[in-house]
């Protein structure tokens, strides 16, 4: 990735972590992205003509704590995994009292993989037969979150009912 093709767009001041209220600071950015999706008049020097260019945001690149801030699925606690979501196989260690995600990964292997039948190296005497959890589509995410107010309308949003028990949603994401 060369330098001309990456540029700083926002600088969000501190001194504290904005947490879920990051959406407030992203508002001008989202306005510009909306404009870019419908098209912006641009001059192309190689063809010497004007054209409508459009842009879409395809990915976000961030670390795991920032993932929780951008996506709206909290990345703490037992339901931290944003792939497994409420179908997680995480458990609490009996004496250490910490959450553990041990042996949650075998279900992502191909069905015929030898590790699935291994009874010694993973959880003792357990053959993993289950498949991976189904992936949420954008419509499903919208359907679950459509009644939750956005952070822009309600910046002091309290914890949603059931947080940490059957879901880990913290907010409706701005994206």
Partner 1 sequence: MFGLKATRIDCCIKGCMLFYDNEYGKNDGHLLQCKFCHKTRYHDPKVGTSKRKLIPMKTMFYLPIIPRLQRLFTSMQTVGQMIWHYDNRRPSGVLRHPSDGQAWKNFDQVHPDFAAEPRNIRLGLCYDRFNPYIQASAKPYSCWPVTFLLKCAC
Q: How far is CA 112 from CA 7, 9, 19, 74, 109, in A?
A: 45, 47, 42, 33, 8
Q: Mark 121-160 with x for binding to partner 1 (rule: CB under 8 A) and - for no binding.
A: -------------------------------x--xx----
Instruction: Compute how many residues bind partner 1; rule: CB under 8 A.
Output: 55
How many CA atoms are closer than 13 Å to the CA of 136, on its beta-carbon side?
A: 16
Q: Which residues contact 119 (CB under 8 A, 6 or more apart)?
A: 125, 126, 127
d(CA 89, CA 78): 9
Give the binding range for partner 1 (CB under 8 A) out of 34-42, 71-79, 106-114, 125-133.
34-42
Q: Is 122 left (phi over 0), alpha (psi -120 to 50) or beta?
A: beta
Q: Is 44 in the site for partner 1 (CB under 8 A)?
A: yes
Q: Is 61 in the site for partner 1 (CB under 8 A)?
A: yes
Closest to partner 1 by CB, 56 vs 134, is 56
d(CA 163, CA 146): 16
Q: Whole-number minimum distance, CB 116 to partner 1, in Å?
A: 24
Give the binding range for partner 1 (CB under 8 A) out of 39-47, 113-121, 122-130, 161-169.
39-47
Residues at the contact surface with partner 1, assessed by CB under 8 A: 1-2, 4-18, 21-22, 24-29, 31-36, 40, 42-46, 51, 53-63, 66, 69-70, 152, 155-156
């Amino acid at each position: 990735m060369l330098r001309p093709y990456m540029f700083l767009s926002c600088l969000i001041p501190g001194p504290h972590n904005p947490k879920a209220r990051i959406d407030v600071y992203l508002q001008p950015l989202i306005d510009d992205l909306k404009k870019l999706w419908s098209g912006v008049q641009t001059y192309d020097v190689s063809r010497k003509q004007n054209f409508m260019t459009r842009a879409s945001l395809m990915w976000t690149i961030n670390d795991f704590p920032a993932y929780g801030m951008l996506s709206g699925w909290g990345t703490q606690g037992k339901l931290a995994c944003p792939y497994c979501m409420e179908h997680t196989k995480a458990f609490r260690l009996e004496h250490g009292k910490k959450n553990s995600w041990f042996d949650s990964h075998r279900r992502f292997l191909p069905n015929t993989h030898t590790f699935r039948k291994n009874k010694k190296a993973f959880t003792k005497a357990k053959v993993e037969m289950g498949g991976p959890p189904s992936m949420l589509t954008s419509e499903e995410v919208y359907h679950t979150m459509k009644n939750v107010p956005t952070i822009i309308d309600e910046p002091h949003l309290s914890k949603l009912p059931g947080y940490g028990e059957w879901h880990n949603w913290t907010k409706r994401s701005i994206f």
